[in-house]
Structure 1
Amino acid sequence: MKSSKDTYFAVVEGDALALGPRELLSAAVLEYEEFILVGDSERLLTDLSQYVHATIAARPICVLASSNALLLTVEHFLDHAYLHEDANRRFFKVCLDTGEVTLVPQVRDASFKTDANLHVYYEPGVQGLHPVVKSVVEAACAQHNEVTKLVCRLLIGYSFLPDQQLKSKSAGSDLDALQLHELQAFLGHLTGLVPIFTLLQEELTDLITHCNTLLAVCPSSASDLANIQATAALQNGFPCIYKVMSVLHYLAYQLAIERNLFSKAFMHIFRAYECYTSGALFLDNATIRLHTKSGTSLDSYMINNQRILGFTPVFKGIGTYFNLEQNADYLTCKFYIDLRNKFHYTHGDVKPSASLANEFARAVIRQILKIEKAANQQNFLWRDVYMQTRKHLIKDPQWEVPAAIRRALQAHQLTSFMVP
């Protein structure tokens, strides 16, 4: 039974069509209310449209496909280019040689779903798809899922660094802790995937470029954080690396919340606050410089010529410098910082709930934005770094995966037109 949401189409290849199929095309356009003619030759489509109009005084909608596209794959993407797109619209292919009518499933963006682990899959299944389309859909999902796994590993998962290098960090300086070693190792993994992940090369290249911009703000020496004039490492008196680290922890908080890992989420939002406020105190009297203890000199984080090993002096310092002691968000942060000591990740056995972690997060973000404004931050804003980094690290699979599939099949180059 025909439905008002049914659309019929025929595919024509080459530069000419015999008389018999032309007559069947005219009959099909007359029979069906909505009819699309698909081909990769604008000359042939125009010729057939004019022939049909001369025969029955009606015209098909013409869809011109890229000459690089395989037409038998394009027919699975008509919904993407159709002028009256409808999620429930069905597309029936009419064979102009036999008159046989076949329902052709459409590869729709909304059909790509994610599971609890943020892995994307094609919900209707790949049955009924052209074998080439099936292969590309499966490969695009697999490549996206591998990149997502690496991003999750970067934010809240396992280290990318070898054990020996991890052990060496026990004697590392506070300056060395600002070098984003894990991000560098993550970048190495991504670079190795570029020649293999052909469907996502464009997205991987963009992600690698963004990661390199983050690495570019790492201070190469303590003097990079002490210069008066702006540098790659220092903008408006604020060391950029602390904002990058804060943003990465905030993204980790969001990812942990989505996975119901509330203890991880809480600790990440705490670190997001700690990193940002540690950087903000460079606007007052914080420095990184050589500090000698037991005959060993290391570049250390200092306030008032005292090496800082805990967060309490930073928290008190930020409250005093920005006059936040009576600020509601500052007091909320103080409450949760104190409560943190009772959690099972620290000195107690209780675990934070989602609501507690989210309330702390809201206070932290309001604090960060308030300090950004009070500190007259104009370049390398925390919000901008967050937006750009989230865009590159946490992709929307309903956009990225279908776009990669259409790009691979040249199905994105579909042009609908009416012949005058």
Structure 2
Amino acid sequence: MLRSAAAQKDPVSAPVEPMVDSQLFQQVLEEVRQRRHEFDAGSHVPRDMIERFKQVGIYRAATPKCFGGDALAPALFLQMIERISEADGSAGWVASFGSAGVYLAALPVETLAELYADSPDLVFAGGLFPLQPAEAVEGGWQVNGTWKFASGCKGADLLGVGIGASAAGGKPRTAVFPASQVEIVENWDVVGLKGTGSHDLRVSDKFVEDRWTFIRGGAATIDEPLFRYPSIAYAAQVLAVVNLGLARAALDEISRMAGGGGITGAPKLSDRAYVRIEVAKAEAKLMAARSFFYNATEQVWDSILAGNPVTPEQTSLLRLSAIHVSQAGAEVVQSAYSLAGTTAIYLRHPLQRYLRDSMVVTQHAFLSEGLYDGAGSVYLGVPPFPGYI
């Protein structure tokens, strides 16, 4: 079974069922470490790496069991993404969309059967915003427009785009196309998570049958436990956990640096009291946030397995844990970067990568500071803003 170094210290988040072969997973992690500069330089994780992720089950993790998938318990998938993110944040971010099957499960069952007819390993990516108007025509929709932030689009089999028709509560309708029918506008030029390939998508006058559209966050047509887990909250969690991996990597880097002296001849890091104090504080912050994150995940999952409906309070707890762990992880990386001193200003230094990547994670709409308002509203019994629950 796979366990991160952090999970070994934290029995709360220990895996609860067998996972992929740990030796194969370690090989994939090492390949990610060796190739992360390549991902940045090319602004995407290439298809051969996506194939490696398939081998360890990333792209069947959210495929229904009835179609040959694993429908993996959320905590187990999150731990996999955490470990990949320790090796490279961009790779972890792209792999996190292996969870997208929870969205796709809102498609009609017949459509899902067609999707998974050849393999349970399906790579889906989407650029849902800004929502573009679509013309309702007989049997479906005529789609035109350009969408942003389609992370992992260059390695995807299917691409989704957000169209103007939406359900109650403001949840967007998503139109699904074979990747060959969607133009990728390569414009991902950013400060962090450079390897995610979050380019724009463009669709020009394409018809999509209604059965190839779904409401993102809508009710699943598959009755399996994973598809009763709150899909929007899960989407936030799989992104937030990237910062757990980056924070662990940053603290490990400081540990490696601790035995060396400073450029100016100052004492080595491990001999400086303020460094020891700040490292201890950072470790406590990381582990506390991590425990909250996985405790919330397993609490809701256990309730689902017991046959209980998910409550608004549980959904809010998941979202709060995601926001919190994203922020806490970024703060730990910032602390590690500060402790490293001048050495960390070089662009090829690992802490530069961790710093830039972790700050981009916190900028995502699912993880922004303003979402604390939704959690506070639920806690105080006030209706939260639309789309939060």
Task: Please indicate, yes or no, whether the TM-score normalized by the shorter chain is above 0.5.
Answer: no
Alignment TM-score, normalising by the size of structure 2: 0.26
Give the TM-score taking structure 1 as reference length. Answer: 0.25
Larger Rg: 1
